[in-house]
Amino acid sequence: MQLALVGVSHKTAPVEVRERLAFNSETLRDALTSLVRRQDIHEAIILSTCNRVEVMAESPDDRLIREFLCEFHQIPHESVSQHLYSFRNADAIRHVFRVAASLDSMMVGEPQILGQVKEAYRVATDAGTVGMHLSALMTRAFAVAKKVRSETGISQSAVSVSFAAVELARKIFGDLTGKTVMIIGASKMGELAAKHLKRNGVSSVLVTNRTFERAVELAKVFEGAAVPFEHFTDHMAGADIVISSTGAPHFIISKTLAEQVIHRRKNKPMFFIDIAVPRDIDPGVNEIDNAFLYDIDDLQQVIDSNLKERMKEASRAEEIVDSEVQAFCLKMQSREVVPTIVQMRDSLERLRREEIERNRRHLKDLSPEGQAAVDQITRSLVNKILHTPTEYLKQMAQDPSGPEVADLIRKIFNVKTPE
């Protein structure tokens, strides 16, 4: 297998360049079929997301892919060449494994990229541009991604405000089943946090907003209840979790109000998440027993700490990828020498039979035992001739120069390159 990969990503190109090289769903199939019609490009997959555009192909030359990218999008090569990266063979395999395992993502450990890689593979398979080699590569890439996620903690720590809120709520309450969350202010961040809390077991959602219609609209999303802003304090005691993100220039939940609410709750724990700037909740609330207040800086500290943990886990994940790349290369190289060995044997066996037939008139006077002896001697001779190159090919299957050695032996024995 000769693999070449060319692409741009958020690490090498600004969005203005990435969008010029992107493929939309309407053009992707045509692009794939156009690509494999080119000489020396036998299989192809295109991955096009908001953060990367990558073309991988079973091809001996990455320059062919660069030419295709620029011609398809009608872009001068010199205008994008500085942003393009290329990988070949083992380096390309490592890159594919790292991308699938989310080690090359903007947010290491994010889960979306694996689904995007699987979708790219599905589209290419439907377009008929995936054969034995890329199929084997992608199947292994999916397995490596699963292994990385199951054997490391790369995706376990929350790295967004909304997920950090869920993580903290679990630490306070344990099981979130049956809990009630109140959203104060209809911000996108508050909505996301509530959405994740709902997915993790929160059963009831109360929404309040200065514009009551907006509160009603958001409450419908969660099948919850809207509360008039001027009366939200009357409903706070029923909420286990309060997420506040209004645009108020002052505290809307004072320490005194929080003390009264905790008293009405008979000292049951209450989790306040203040993601507003300026802050909505008096920091003195944190001094109240059974009141747990986190503002946006507190949540960011949690996220920063979790990011450090993810990077530690990423180092372990890189070791898994390195090991898998080595194993995959060995497997593919072994698969490539077997057809060569079979072809060599077939070629010499055919020559042996042709020579025996050509000299049949000289052998006709031999007894059946004599003819059998000739047959056995020639077979033994073929085996002895093949022994050394066969053993050498097997040894070189595990060497980076194995494909070149196999190619040389095919030329010596005049056998075709396996398809």
Query: What's the CA gap between 393 and 409, in Å, rounded?
Result: 9
From residue 232, alpha-carbon distances to 167, 182, 195, 206 in Å are 26, 9, 20, 9
From residue 219, alpha-carbon distances to 37, 104, 136, 195, 228 in Å are 54, 38, 48, 11, 12
Q: Pick the closest to residue 181 from 169, 194, 163, 196 (CA basis).
A: 194
Q: Which tokens belong to 296?
A: 């946006």
Q: Any catalytic annotation for residue 329?
A: no
Query: What's the CA gap between 57 and 92, in Å, rounded?
Result: 10
From residue 241, alpha-carbon distances to 28, 248, 395, 401 in Å are 46, 20, 64, 62
For 9-74, give the DSSP string.
ETTTS-HHHHHHH---HHHHHHHHHHHHTSTT--EEEEEE-SSEEEEEEE-S-HHHHHHHHHHHHT
Catalytic residue among 15, 50, 216, 342: 50
Query: What's the CA gap between 96 and 56, in Å, rounded?
Result: 9
Sheet with 291-295: strands ordered across = 225-228, 204-209, 180-184, 241-244, 270-274, 291-295
What b/e readout covers 229-246, taking b as 16+ CB neighbours within 10 angstroms?
Answer: beebeebbeebbbbbbbb
Sheet with 52-58: strands ordered across = 43-48, 52-58, 3-9, 85-88
Catalytic residue positions, numbered: 50
